[in-house]
Each structure stands twice: as C-alpha cells, then as structure tokens.
Structure 1
Amino acid sequence: MFIGSYTNTKEINKRIWEEAKRLKVKRVIIGECGHAWRAAYNYSNTMNGPFDFLDPKYPQPSHICDFTLGLIRDGVIKVDKSANDDKIVTYHDPCNVARASRMGSQPGDQFSIPRDLIKSVCNNFVDMQEGAIKAKTFCCGAGAGLLTDEIMQTRINGVMPRMQAFKEVVDKNNVNFFATICAICKTQFYAMFPLYGFERDWVGGIHQLVSAAIVL
C-alpha cells in the first residue's frame, strides 16, 4: 500500500489471494498490522476480487482479532484471565484500523472487537480519555513512511499527543501495558516510550496477552 504504483500494489496483493485459491482455504485472516489490514479490507476486493471461492459465512478478509475473539467466545480456546493480572492494560487504536477501515460485521466493530478481546483475557483494562481513542485516536507519529531514524525529531513530536494521553492513565490508573494491533505503531512506541519516561516492554500486541492467558 502507498508504494506509488497501482500496478505493483495489485501484483503484490494478488499473491495472497492466488495462494488462498491454490490452497482451497475457506477464510483469509490478516494479522496485527494496520497497513496490511487496510490494504486487505479496503482494496483487495477491488484489485483482485471477487472472493467468491471463499466461504461466504465468514467476513472476507477476516481480522485476527475477530477470529480469536470468536474462538474464545465459542469455547474453542480456553483462557485464564488471571495470567495477566500483573498488567493494567490500555489500548491504542491504530489510524489504519480506526479511521481508514472497519472490522467485523457492524459499524464500530473496529473499536469494540479489540477491546472485547483484551477484556476476554485480562481482568484489568482502562481506556484512555474519550477524545483520544476510537475515531478520535491520536496517530503514533510514524505512519505514512515516517518510521525512519533520519527524521527522529519529527517522530518524537508526532507521538507527543498520544504520550500525553497515555501518561494520564499511567498516573491515574497505574497502567503498565500499552496494547495495539499495528506493527508500525508497536515499532514507533517501542522507540518512543523510553524518551517519554515509560518502560519499553510496556508496549505489546493483543495476542501477546492472549498467548499468556491460553490454558493448554
């Protein structure tokens, strides 16, 4: 996505769907990556659809959070929420998921599904202030090609609003885990947290929490 060539974008994207067709799968699931999800959800059907060879009872494509939450709700995956009791979790809505695409079957599911998944594996969840989440989320400051060390000061400045909102829940609620579902966001926050006085290992994915809670 955003590589400057529709032809190249289409060819890169097509590999996923050609392989899905070759393997005769029922469902294509996209992982915790904001750009990957936006490209798959918003553009794949137009560029390389239709996906009539996939099972119509599932959203196509499906987000990994939607898929995992379904498994937990159906009892396929057993979890012990207390395994994450050392964490007080908040959630960062990535721009490419929150504002640029959707998830699930209903409007707003891109906000509720990740939070419901966190709550299904954690006892302690706190949202940041209302004006800094969901459709009003603050950018991580490193999207759109900005994730490069040559413009580090731009990244530091860009992440400041999110860091200020995060500090509020750290100070008020003792939050110590910052979950998100975007690889660029994670990489950016991993670099930025120490600069703003937070622990680097507070940054993680939702499925990191899921994996800790799974009962084998």
Structure 2
Amino acid sequence: MKRRSFLSSAAGAVVLTAGYTSSARSSAAENYHDIINPDPSASNAGLASNPAEVDARNVEPSSFETYTATNEANTNLRMVPLDIARYWYHTQKARFIDTRTASQYQESHIAGAVFSPAPNGKENDPVANWDRNERVVAYCTCPHHLSGIRAGNLIEDGFTGAYILGPGMEPWVKKGYPTAGMQKNKTEFVDDYSNVNGNDENERQE
C-alpha cells in the first residue's frame, strides 16, 4: 500500500485518543476563532517580502474543505485553496511556515516562509514569538500530512488560525508563484517523513 493512501485512510478512521473518539474532538469551526491579520511592524517573519498588488476579494473560510490531522490529537483543520493562499500571501494576511525537513527547505520554499518542521518546530522556532491569533498557513509537499501535524499541534497549543495549504507546495511552484532557495524552481519533490518518524535525521536549521 502506498504511503499516501495509508495516510489518507488513517486520517479518515475513527481513532481512540486519551479515552475519547474522533467524534468528541473539536470541529474545525470551533478551532478557528478570533483570528487577526499579522502585524508586519512586529515581525515580518513568514510574510511575503515583496507582495504584489492583487484584487480585493471576500474570503469565507467556513467554505474551506476540512482535514483531520494525524497528530496525536487528530485535530480538525481547514485547508486553504491555492488561490486564497496566494491572495493571503500577497496581502500579508497570513504568515507561512514550511513544515518539511531542513534540507528540503534550503532547496526550495515559498519566499518569505519560515522553517518550522513537523511535529513541533525547532529550537528557537520563530513561530513561538507570533501572536497566537494571527493567521498562519502551514505547507508541505505530501500534500498536507506534515503540514497537518504541525498546524494541528499549533491549534492544540492555542493558535486560533493555523490553516494548511490544501494542494501542498507543488502547485504553488508550478504556477510560478514566489519561491526561494538553492533550487527554487524545482517542480518535482520527494516526500520525506524522517522528522516525524523518530529517526531524526532532520538537520536543525538555526
């Protein structure tokens, strides 16, 4: 069985955690509340460094598809469509975090995104200093296994607006949206789950 198929099946299953079933978990609607736009004057970490002008649009997050993360709490999350993520990016309405390994981040990442790997970030993680009500978009390439774990743990840690990029990073790159890194134009990605599988070969980026 392919790993992605397994992960998809596992995410949809009823899971017993801490004595209760998935039906007792908070819904996605309950997990998202009191969300504010990031404050660039406090920190520009995770924000577009050169935002482009885009047409204003009305965004209704309650219409987003939901996803049950595979973190310990099986947190229910909202998945941001690619076009909305791009809109939030260029209007600096969300901070972006890359949840993959350090080597993958160094090769290619969304321009301005910070490295904050699944499951719980890294030492001196910049996310720890952000306002927990600010809007955050986590992403990976698998397309949302790692980002789901990281965003889910942020929600459990008190963040009120931690979303995941629904289609993952690959469509972002193929659309020619802003990227950075040593191989910023690469369009083929290999999934790497080493940072959540207990064999931490993940090189910590400081």
Same fold (TM over 0.5): no
- Using the size of structure 1 for normalisation, the TM-score is 0.26
Greater gyration radius: 1
Which is richer in strand?
2
Which is richer in helix?
1
